[in-house]
Structure 1
Amino acid sequence: MTTEAGEVIGWSLRPAEPADVFAIAELRAVVLRADLERLGRFDEHRVRQRFRDSFSPAHTSIITVGPAFAGCVAVRPADDGHWLEHFYVAPGFQGCGVGSGVLRTLLRKADEERVTVRLNVLRGSPAQRLYERHGFTLDAADEIDIFMTRRPPP
């Protein structure tokens, strides 16, 4: 469902199940392909296997729009806050408010809990602008990754 401005409404989150691993691994390959190819790091098998090896259903949510699988996001607890990981929005739902809505919801909860949120994003990825708009700042960078942090407001 979309508004006249093309923004998606009616998204929701549900807990991930072990069987979701295959759909998420495939989405990861689709979403990251252009950036990984640009960085000379795309490997058809590795992009899926790295996710399958680290998948934690307990920390992962599935994003749905109506009955459609629209993406996923993981929030993993760490000693110094939370790590936002595996945040992938399916191409058909990018640019219409799903990612921003999910991120706002997760950050609101982190702020209520007074928790710092950290993430890494591939260098040159358009997702970096999304994170910057939501208050993440640069911590460090290497030739592949940009590491960012968002602290709760005072």
Structure 2
Amino acid sequence: MIQISLRESKHSDTENIANLRAMVLREDLTRLGRYDEEKVRQRFRDSFDPDHTWIIEAEPAFVGCVAFKPATEGYLLEHFYIHPHYQGQGIGGHVLNTLLGQADLQGSKVRLNVLQGSSARRLYERFGFEVDSEDSVDIFMSRKANGTIAHDDNNAR
């Protein structure tokens, strides 16, 4: 696996992340009839919190991001995007191991949502996430702290 690192995001990362989001979600949102070139970026801009968003770097290129926000019942995992060129190289699994390890140490639950039909669902299920509810667009999942973290070579989208 390539060497990766996480760094805290800054406001100056906003457009790079918004553009990555549009690229990564395009196929799934198009399939769901929900892709809009500007809305996909604006939705990220509206919820971006640099204090809880990490930039994923490798070689030292920008390859992705993930937000891990404190929530009422633990953490909310969102905006987890890996550039398509770097998907399938174990980066997503490595990042999940790191974040879920932190949540497990604190005994915290982690929640997320994934688009219907997204291949990322399989990754999350391998890491112990279970479906709580779903609608025509999103699947809402959660994982209780359990101290057992899967090892995975696939990545989230």
What interval of TM-score do these two structures reach, taking the shorter chain for normalisation?
Answer: over 0.9
Q: Secondary structure at the match of 2:117?
A: coil
- Partner of 2:151 in structure 1? none
Residue in 2 aligned with 1:65? 58
Give the AA of the match of 2:49.
S
Identity of aligned residues (%): 58
Q: Which amino acid aligns with 1:80?
A: E
SS in 2 for 1:40: coil
Query: Map of 1:4-153 to 2, 5 A cutoff?
Result: 8-153=1-146
Q: Which runs of 5+ in 1 are unaligned?
A: 1-7
Question: What is the CA–CA distance in structure 1 between the aligned matches of 2:60 and 2:81, rounded to whole Å?
Answer: 17
Aligned length: 147
Whole-angstrom CA distance in 2 between matches of 1:139 and 1:43:
27
Offset of residue 115 of structure 1: 0.5
Give every structure 1 segment of 4 or more consecutive aligned residues whose post-TM-superposition deviation is greater than 3 Å: none
Secondary structure of the corresponding residue to residue 50 of structure 1: helix
Please report the TM-score for the alignment, with normalisation by the length of structure 2: 0.92
Query: What is the letter of the counterpart of residue 130 of structure 2?
Result: T
Q: Whole-Å Cα distance in 2 between the matches of residues 86 and 143 of structure 1? A: 20
Q: So what's the TM-score if we normalise by structure 1?
A: 0.94
Q: Quote the offset at 1:9 in angstroms.
A: 2.4
Higher relative contact order (CA 8 A, sep 6+): 2
Report SS of the residue matched to 2:43.
Answer: helix
Partner amino acid for 1:93? Y
Give the unaligned 5+ runs of structure 2. 148-157
Deviation at 1:130, TM superposition (A): 0.4
Distance 1:108 1:82 in 2: 12
